[in-house]
Chain A
């Protein structure tokens, strides 16, 4: 099946640092979504992107839909301890069964206070 390459796999940072993670694909996507999953919880939608080049912010989070439509990144500025969790990218392809999402493998973020 379609794969999304998400990196890095894990990050260990100090409180206050900025974080960047990204997802790439060999196929074109028409939607990119970023989720955060806390331990014992379901994924929570952070940001949704629908247009190539779109840059969207949600508080300290900023995500961009790549111009080629094959990649997306998520930045977190001035990290705080509650940013700890697993961040997943998800993409929706153009055409076919275009309601389905493909998920990346996740980025585990640890923030040291």
Chain B
């Protein structure tokens, strides 16, 4: 499995501000994903971070609100823009190897970033 770190681990932010979350992996990976986990809820995929091109967003998530960068195969950032209290969640980075699901192509998660918006 890959070792995944996220920064910050938690933050408390004011409404209207933006926060950029970093995800660093200890090895090159093909697939990187960003998930949101609202309090007491399951995981919802925000977008797939594509290296060298624009991220692919899921229904209900847009680039203006959640801009994503992926400059190389080991690093990605997610920005939560113009935050409101409804954005209070855990944001999780996930990685997977390979472009086609196969044995061994599991997804692994980082420790998460706990965001509280006041």
Interface residues of A (CB under 8 A from B): 1, 30-31, 33, 35, 40-45, 48, 50, 88, 90, 92, 98-101, 103-106
Give Cα distance in the complex from A45 to B108, angstroms.
Answer: 7
Taking each of A40, A48, A100, which has the highest tally of chain B beta carbons within 10 Å of its own beta carbon? A100
- Residue on B with the closest CB to A33? B106
Partner among B45, B105, B111 whose Cβ is within 8 Å of the Cβ of A41:
B111
Across the A-B interface, give the 4 residue pairs with the lowest CB-CB distance, nearest first: A42-B109, A103-B43, A103-B42, A42-B112
Number of A-B contacts (CB under 8 A): 53
- Closest Cβ–Cβ distance, residue A23 to chain B (whole Å): 11
- Closest Cβ–Cβ distance, residue A78 to chain B (whole Å): 26
**What A residues does B45 contact at CB under 8 A?**
100-101
Interface residues of B (CB under 8 A from A): 1, 4, 31, 41-45, 48, 59, 92, 96, 99-103, 105-112, 114
Q: Is the CB of A42 within 8 A of B110?
A: yes
Q: Is the CB of B42 within 8 A of A98?
A: no
Chain A binding surface, main DSSP class: loop
**What B residues does A30 contact at CB under 8 A?**
101
Partner among A42, A48, A103 whose Cβ is within 8 Å of the Cβ of B106:
A48
Q: Is the CB of B92 within 8 A of A98?
A: no
**What A residues does B100 contact at CB under 8 A?**
98-99
**What A residues does B109 contact at CB under 8 A?**
35, 42-45
- Further contacts, 12 of them, CB under 8 A, given A43-B43, A50-B103, A98-B100: A33-B107, A42-B4, A42-B110, A43-B109, A44-B109, A45-B1, A45-B106, A45-B109, A99-B96, A99-B99, A101-B107, A104-B42
